[in-house]
Structure 1
Amino acid sequence: MTLGELCLLLGGGLTAGAVNAIAGGGSLITFPLLVTLGLPGVAANVSNALSVAPGYVASAVASRPDLAGQGRRIVSIIPTIVVGALCGSGLLLFTPRSVFDFVVPFLLLLAAVMMAFQNRLRALAGRSHPRRSSRQVQVVVFLCGLYGGYFNAAMGLLLIAALALVLDEHLRRIAALKNVFSAVVGMTTVLTYSVFGPVNWAAVAVLAPATVVGGYVGAKTARRIPPEALRWTIVVFAVTVAIVLLVT
């Protein structure tokens, strides 16, 4: 690994950790960066998932004040999201690499669209909704875990939008839940990919500590960071990478 690659990974990890803590979507920075540095699609996805997981944990710890009173809900949902993440990880690892290479540009485009409409998702999260049944909550969380286990990018945005549809909670409390569930998915994929995945441990060794620092700082300073310019930069970056992957 060259000094330039080291600096790119360090900067990408810090930025991705902060973005994940604020609203999700940090993997739209780190996953394309790993692909750009020459990693195959599955290896980049696996290495990225391991790298951003510690940042999710740091964000969850920093979100503790907004988790007050949600302990029972978290305990009831964790098994479902773990099963979803395991199913997604299994799809990634035990289906042909050609399937992932075909699907990933479209997943990147989907993630970019979610990032582009982030404000609308936040507005949706701020509305009042009738309380949904526990079964609907479990189904939604399972599908989010499935997505996160297969392709990590923009999982936080998906969780915010999905949880807002099934829970009548303030955005800050939904974002705190998002951080916890992202951490659960992250740790599940860490355990799975560490054993079965084609991990590039050198990249993980640089990215993981950077996402921890970025995630903790991002969660603490979210209200003071103007995200608009960064958001659209990430959208353009993700769309560009998706188009390159489609035509190559």
Structure 2
Amino acid sequence: MGWQEIVLLFAGGVLAGCINVLAGGAGFMTFPLLVAAGMSEIEANASNFVALLPANIASLYGYRHELRRPTLMLGPRLVLAGIGGALGSLGLLWLGEASFKSAIPWLLTFSTLAFALAPTIKRWLEHRHNFDGKRWIWLSFLLEFIVYVYGGYFGLGMGVVLLALYAMFGHDDIHEANSIRNATITLITLIAIALFAHAGVIRWL
């Protein structure tokens, strides 16, 4: 890797870190940069977890006081995130490069549509069915688990989709939603890094 690629990745990483703290979605920037630097798609995906880990930890630390709120139900969410993230990462390693490359457009479409349509779906449910997300915590956990599996497999867009889900199911306070997001994503990131490092698919240099 030449110095041009290093400078490009460094600049992209700094900008992505700022984006990650505010709203998530930094992987949309860092993943194509890693591919452009010469990594295969699966290497870029695995290495992307490492690239975003410092920003995840910084975000988690910044929201450390909000994590004490009992309304977050953080314990069950961390259990689901740990299991889902591990399943997603193991699925990536088992399915391999060809399946991952063919799935990328669909995964990006899923994350983009889920984030874009969540507010509209929430308004429709509230208007037509008097929907109160706080009373449907089991459904929230089920949908979150699906996103956690997706996040362990790919990661891109996981943060923005989770924010949309948290808002739909009663966590309208952006700081509260961000604190849950940062905790679950940091755990998934650590698990993914451990599994990908063991499998040798992370490009450290």
Same fold (TM over 0.5): yes
Alignment match, 1:132: 135
For residue 96 of structure 1, report the CA deviation from its aligned partner: 3.0
Change (3 A) 1:155 1:72: closer
1:145-200 deviation line (CA, Å, top 9, x unaligned) = 10110111111101101122223442221122111111111111111111114110
Query: Is 1:141–2:144 an aligned residue pair?
Result: yes
Distance 1:119 1:166 in 2: 11
Alignment match, 2:73: 73
Q: Which is bigger in relative contact order (C-alpha 8 A, separation at least 6)?
A: 1
Query: Is 1:164–2:161 an aligned residue pair?
Result: no
Alignment match, 2:11: 11
Relative to the length of structure 2, the TM-score reads: 0.86
Pick aligned residue for 2:195 from 176, 186, 192: 192
For residue 140 of structure 1, report the CA deviation from its aligned partner: 2.2
Change (3 A) 1:106 1:134: closer
Change (3 A) 1:134 1:194: same
Query: Is 1:173–2:184 an aligned residue pair?
Result: no
Query: Is 1:83–2:83 an aligned residue pair?
Result: yes
Change (3 A) 1:109 1:130: closer
SS in 2 for 1:131: helix
Alignment match, 2:102: 102
SS in 2 for 1:75: helix
For residue 118 of structure 1, report the CA deviation from its aligned partner: 9.2
Distance 1:120 1:136 in 2: 17
Alignment match, 1:201: 204
Preserved CA contact (<8 Å) 1:53 1:190: no
- Which residue identity does 1:175 align to in structure 2? N
- Which residue identity does 2:138 align to in structure 1? R
Distance 1:189 1:91 in 2: 11
Distance 1:101 1:18 in 2: 28
- Which residue identity does 1:37 align to in structure 2? A
Q: How many residues matched?
A: 198
1:207-229 deviation line (CA, Å, top 9, x unaligned) = xxxxxxxxxxxxxxxxxxxxxxx
- Which residue identity does 2:18 align to in structure 1? A
- CA RMSD in angstroms comes to 2.5
For residue 139 of structure 1, report the CA deviation from its aligned partner: 1.2
For residue 10 of structure 1, report the CA deviation from its aligned partner: 0.5
Alignment match, 2:21: 21
Give ranges in structure 2 of 5+ residues lacking alignment. Answer: none
Relative to the length of structure 1, the TM-score reads: 0.72
